[in-house]
Amino acid sequence: MGIWNQIQQYLFIKKADPNAPKSTWMKYMHGMNRISLVMFLLAVIFIVVKQVVIPMFR
């Protein structure tokens, strides 16, 4: 499975593979990955706003 497919599944853009093995630990791992991905995207947005958007209005 490609990295872009996995990211789309984490963000609920694409449905998960129904043939993939399911276990409790995989759910936990994917949940943590989802949280870290969302936090990373929020941090990138925050940095862009702080470094680019705010100086434009000064």
The pTM of the whole model exceeds 0.85: no
| pLDDT, mean of residues 7-16 | 75
pLDDT at 48 over 90: yes
Cβ count near 5 (within 10 Å): 13
- Round the average pLDDT of the chain to a whole number and report it: 85
- Does residue 8 or residue 40 have the better pLDDT? 40
Q: Answer whether 17's CB lies under 8 Å from 1's CB.
A: yes
pLDDT at 1 over 70: no
- For 34-58, the DSSP string reads HHHHHHHHHHHHHHHIIIIIHHHT-
- Does residue 21 or residue 46 have the better pLDDT? 46
